[in-house]
Structure 1
Amino acid sequence: MDDSASKAKAKPLRTWSVFGEIRRVPSEYEIVTHEVNYTLRKRRTAAFELNPTTPANMWYLTYRDKSPVQVAEWNEFRDPDEMTYRKYVTTQDEQESVMKGVLDQYERTAHDSDISARWIDTLAHVLIPTRYPVHGLQMTQAYLGTIAPSSYITNCAAFAAGDLLRRGSLIAYRTRQLQLARPDVHVLVEARRIWEADLGWQPARKALETALITYDWAECLTAVNLVLRPALDEVLLAQLANVARKNRDDLTWLLLTNLARDSARAARWSCALARFAIARNPDNVGSFARWVKKWRARAEDAAGGLATLLTSVSSPGQEELKTLEAARNAIAASLEAAGITEEVEKTVVAAKSTAKPQAAPQYMAPLLSDPLIALFEKYAVSPGANPCRWTGLTFYRFESPVAPHWDQTASLAFCIVVQGRKRVTINGRRYFFDPANYFLINRATRLQAEILEGSPAQPFLSMILQIPAAAVAEVLIESLPGLEAQAGADDEEEEAYVSKFDGDLRDAVIRFLKSLDDDSERRLLGPLFLREIVFRLLRQDQAPRLVTAALYGKTSRKVFAAIRYMQAEFNKSITIDDIARAVGASTSTLAHSFKEIIGVSPYHFLKQLRLERARVLMIREGWGVSEAAARTGYASPSHFVKAFTSYFGEAPSQYANQFRGKPTLNVMETTETRT
């Protein structure tokens, strides 16, 4: 009896514990959406159940987990429409019934036989080629859903991709109707040529193809969903629908206005997601604002090209400036709904202008919420130089201008200013740089530096990163054929240069600096992000100068041939004499040239290569000390242990046990030597 009473009083097991302490029954939307993205399972060490350093896992780590836009808990985001598969199918089934009626009406009324030659030419040049950009937009949404940091975002993007698939299918069906009704109009079968060659489409094509290689998930969201798609949909749906009505084509107007409903739903969740990200972490507004600035001009160029097309091929048509202004207004409305308004930046600039009305700024100061400024404020806490836990990285803070003073760099140095201005003089040549530009010194150089702007309210903030020879050499070796094509043997060699600092290079710097706080991330991910910085530098407009300085010396090709030889033969008992003979140089000449170009001796480079290789494979493959020593060219395990401990600060077994199962990067390995 007591047992029965006890069982009757026992509380049932909670069904919704996965949602945490929400103190309510979750909605159907939450039940079918919460944590359904496999790559985001809890207690994961990587996105996929593979070695954490595989390309797929490193891709997710770089472009999702280490995105500049961060929120503590993305699972708290909710789609304003709370769209589920059942709700989506029901909604779209109703819309498909409407669309079927419209398409049937085209055929029942012999609509296409009666439309004017000018209007059918407009449809051929503007409506029919739309399936190509629509397919591009669909691919961006599929990518966004795949790499999103929450299944709540994944589902939104998946439904958006479904909408675009439906849109492309309807346009294809409508295209075939026109072709069958007007076989005499040859332009109806030239959609691909128009998309690839017509001048009106080329800005949109360029913008979309660039968006397809925008890998950071949050930049993809900003570029496509908040900027580019609102502009394109305004022209290709709303403005084209207006032109259709002017040409008495009410069926096409109805078709386009119905498709605009899908576009509006995509805009709602996209803007809501941006607002959510900014509300949960105000620092995110800086990244959003920077990406908007980068993509807005591309979107306006795309809309301008299409506006010209609407004006030139349609009669009656649409005024070009009116169409472009409508696209600009659509972008502005999208950004305002997302909480990314220009007033934020204008407010900051206005406040600075009020404080110092006598001195007009010489550049547009970044937003105070810029994540890069926040990182510099964190590391540059004291006036003057602030050494960092990363060897060769120093942050600087000055609260007043500093007179010219002499300084020295030990190797290739990458310099960034995020607040203030600086002037550097090398051999009589002056270089000015500020937050819009970075400064790169190609080699060990004596220079004179001067801080031009800095105050207690807005201190000068900068960093200098000495980039090690190993990282530079590894990227140069892998990129050598393409880089040699960029550089010319007669290019003027300079000690330093200033170039634009934005886009992917800026994001790489943010990822690198964010990895410095945590010991594991600094030791394991830091080399990866440093390597990305070097790679991005080599893809800048000024890269040929860096390549020329690195590659075009009397004996530099032999140096890089020596590096290739060491990478291929490191597991054998080779000597410096062996390396010199292999590349056709004397031992003394190779040693001198190697030290001058790479910054370390061939012996130390080979030693570093072997130890880095042993480190990675002890962690990845579970090698023991004896096997690691034998397979990396060490004749004695004791000699290997001594060298490893001196280089990494820990004994090999202890080091491997500590990091086994975590992401690793060997900065010395090439594509050919990876396992």
Structure 2
Amino acid sequence: MHSDFKSDQVVSDISRLAGSVSQLVPSDGDQITAIAGLSLHRRKAITAPMHCIYGLGIGVTLQGRKQAMIGDEILTYAPGQSMVTCVDLPVISHVSQASVAKPFLGMMLRFDSTMVMQVAERMQLSQRMRDDAFRPITVQALDAGVLHALRRLIDLLEEPLLLDTVAPLIKEEIVARLLSGAHAPQLLHVIAAGSPSQHIAKTVAWLKLNFRQALRMDDLAAQAHMSPSTFRQHFRSVTGMSPLQYQKQLRLQAARQLMLSQNVDASSAGGLVGYESASQFSREYSRLFGAPPQRDIKRIRL
């Protein structure tokens, strides 16, 4: 009886939050809010798969469904579920259920890793985590306490004078609740000092800043305090791909963004992200995005 009431309450709260997001985002699009790291999303139809990077944070679907593909794994999350990402990852995501009458509605909240670490330290959580079960993205039932905090965060958008003071406190509460719930083992893996996943997380952060440089596997493995073979194994288990594949996705997504936002031509974009061969750039771009650079950009702009 009590659990049914709680379930009904969560469904009701999700519906109310979906109504608030629908009002804040009245038409299709992604809205960056006045709260750092919080974005709101609306789609009236199923979308084509898009390559993007999920960062440290939580994603919640309030209406409709969404899918994310990491390597060969496909994750689906619907209302009543939360998706937490622990390491910056290139993923292919798309809205898999939406209509004009019932559009997809969702929200994403990114976290600062330093803040997550500070909250975990204040909670005196164990830093010794087994590393063999680490998953970079997990989908779990949406915790009622997290849902209430997200609701208060959205409501705070109507109180601009309190934003700077109260929003960080609510974000810390959300992190604390995640660290004491089903997502905790994965979040703790990333902040556990000395764990293989922590070393891989540092490598991923370095690659995001230095993807234009030539990749030397032995140097990356040495920085992570691992042998090259162990490093490759742990990198793949955390990200779902090899270091070279990860770098390639970062390069190609950066090139696509340059062509879209700054009208850079294809050959220049390839060189700017680290490709020495224009033909190799075009070949790998086509393999990832399904069309050569110019045709792909024209297709997006239509």
Q: 1:472 aligns with which of 112, 116, 127?
A: 116
The DSSP-based 3-state class of the residue aligned with 1:449 is strand
Identify the residue that residue 463 of structure 1 maps to in structure 2. 107
8 Å Cα contact 1:379-1:388 kept in structure 2:
no
**How much does 1:505 deviate?**
1.3
**How much does 1:552 deviate?**
5.2
Gap change, CA 1:429 and 1:458, over 3 Å in 2: same
Q: 1:402 aligns with which of 37, 47, 53?
A: 47
Gap change, CA 1:550 and 1:293, over 3 Å in 2: same
8 Å Cα contact 2:136-2:186 kept in structure 1:
no
**How much does 1:472 deviate?**
1.1
1:520 equivalent to 2:161? Answer yes
- The residue identity in structure 1 corresponding to 2:15 is D
What does residue range 217-296 of structure 1 map to in structure 2 within 5 Å? 293-294=5-6
Q: 1:392 aligns with which of 37, 52, 57?
A: 37
Gap change, CA 1:388 and 1:415, over 3 Å in 2: same
Distance, in Å, in 1 between the alignment partners of 2:13 and 2:116 is: 33
Distance, in Å, in 2 between the alignment partners of 1:557 and 1:445 is: 14
1:509 equivalent to 2:144? Answer no
**How much does 1:413 deviate?**
2.1
Distance, in Å, in 2 between the alignment partners of 1:542 and 1:474 is: 17
**How much does 1:376 deviate?**
1.3
The DSSP-based 3-state class of the residue aligned with 2:48 is strand
Distance, in Å, in 1 between the alignment partners of 2:114 and 2:138 is: 22
8 Å Cα contact 1:491-1:548 kept in structure 2:
no
The DSSP-based 3-state class of the residue aligned with 2:158 is coil
Identify the residue that residue 15 of structure 2 maps to in structure 1. 370
The DSSP-based 3-state class of the residue aligned with 2:181 is coil
- The residue identity in structure 2 corresponding to 1:496 is I
Distance, in Å, in 2 between the alignment partners of 1:368 and 1:490 is: 35
Question: Normalising to structure 2: TM-score of the pair?
Answer: 0.60
Distance, in Å, in 2 between the alignment partners of 1:378 and 1:502 is: 24
The DSSP-based 3-state class of the residue aligned with 1:456 is coil
Identify the residue that residue 547 of structure 1 maps to in structure 2. 188
- The residue identity in structure 2 corresponding to 1:430 is I
**How much does 1:528 deviate?**
0.6
> Which entry has the higher C-alpha Rg, 1 or 2?
1
Distance, in Å, in 1 between the alignment partners of 2:151 and 2:96 is: 25
**How much does 1:557 deviate?**
8.9
**How much does 1:384 deviate?**
2.0
1:118-140 per-residue CA deviation (whole Å, 9 max, x = no partner) reads xxxxxxxxxxxxxxxxxxxxxxx
Identify the residue that residue 94 of structure 2 maps to in structure 1. 450
Distance, in Å, in 1 between the alignment partners of 2:7 and 2:94 is: 34
Distance, in Å, in 1 between the alignment partners of 2:198 and 2:17 is: 38
- The residue identity in structure 1 corresponding to 2:5 is K
**How much does 1:437 deviate?**
0.6
1:112-167 per-residue CA deviation (whole Å, 9 max, x = no partner) reads xxxxxxxxxxxxxxxxxxxxxxxxxxxxxxxxxxxxxxxxxxxxxxxxxxxxxxxx
1:531 equivalent to 2:172? Answer yes
1:497 equivalent to 2:138? Answer yes
The DSSP-based 3-state class of the residue aligned with 2:87 is coil
Gap change, CA 1:471 and 1:488, over 3 Å in 2: closer
Which stretch has the larger CA shift, 505-514 or 433-442?
A: 505-514
**How much does 1:469 deviate?**
2.6
What does residue range 50-69 of structure 1 map to in structure 2 within 5 Å? none
Unaligned runs of 5+ in 2: 200-222, 225-302
8 Å Cα contact 1:425-1:448 kept in structure 2:
yes
Distance, in Å, in 1 between the alignment partners of 2:115 and 2:152 is: 17
- The residue identity in structure 1 corresponding to 2:74 is R
- The residue identity in structure 1 corresponding to 2:40 is F
Q: CA RMSD in A?
A: 3.0
- The residue identity in structure 2 corresponding to 1:477 is E
Gap change, CA 1:436 and 1:449, over 3 Å in 2: same
**How much does 1:465 deviate?**
1.2
Unaligned runs of 5+ in 1: 1-226, 229-290, 297-339, 341-364, 559-588, 591-675
What does residue range 195-234 of structure 1 map to in structure 2 within 5 Å? none
What does residue range 122-201 of structure 1 map to in structure 2 within 5 Å? none
The DSSP-based 3-state class of the residue aligned with 2:190 is helix
**How much does 1:492 deviate?**
2.0
More relative contact order, 1 or 2 (CA 8 Å, 6+ apart): 2
8 Å Cα contact 2:189-2:197 kept in structure 1:
no
The DSSP-based 3-state class of the residue aligned with 2:49 is strand
Distance, in Å, in 1 between the alignment partners of 2:34 and 2:130 is: 39
1:240-271 per-residue CA deviation (whole Å, 9 max, x = no partner) reads xxxxxxxxxxxxxxxxxxxxxxxxxxxxxxxx
**How much does 1:394 deviate?**
1.3
The DSSP-based 3-state class of the residue aligned with 1:403 is coil
Distance, in Å, in 2 between the alignment partners of 1:366 and 1:453 is: 18
**How much does 1:489 deviate?**
2.3
Gap change, CA 1:551 and 1:461, over 3 Å in 2: same
1:440 equivalent to 2:84? Answer yes
1:383-409 per-residue CA deviation (whole Å, 9 max, x = no partner) reads 021111122221110001112111113
**How much does 1:368 deviate?**
9.2
Distance, in Å, in 1 between the alignment partners of 2:7 and 2:85 is: 30
1:403-450 per-residue CA deviation (whole Å, 9 max, x = no partner) reads 2111113x3021000000111011221111001110011121111001
Distance, in Å, in 1 between the alignment partners of 2:165 and 2:56 is: 22
More helix by share: 1
8 Å Cα contact 2:66-2:97 kept in structure 1:
yes
- The residue identity in structure 1 corresponding to 2:37 is G
Question: Normalising to structure 1: TM-score of the pair?
Answer: 0.28
**How much does 1:496 deviate?**
0.5
The DSSP-based 3-state class of the residue aligned with 1:537 is helix
The DSSP-based 3-state class of the residue aligned with 2:150 is helix
Gap change, CA 1:478 and 1:368, over 3 Å in 2: closer
The DSSP-based 3-state class of the residue aligned with 1:529 is helix
Gap change, CA 1:502 and 1:557, over 3 Å in 2: closer
8 Å Cα contact 2:98-2:104 kept in structure 1:
yes
Distance, in Å, in 2 between the alignment partners of 1:422 and 1:556 is: 27
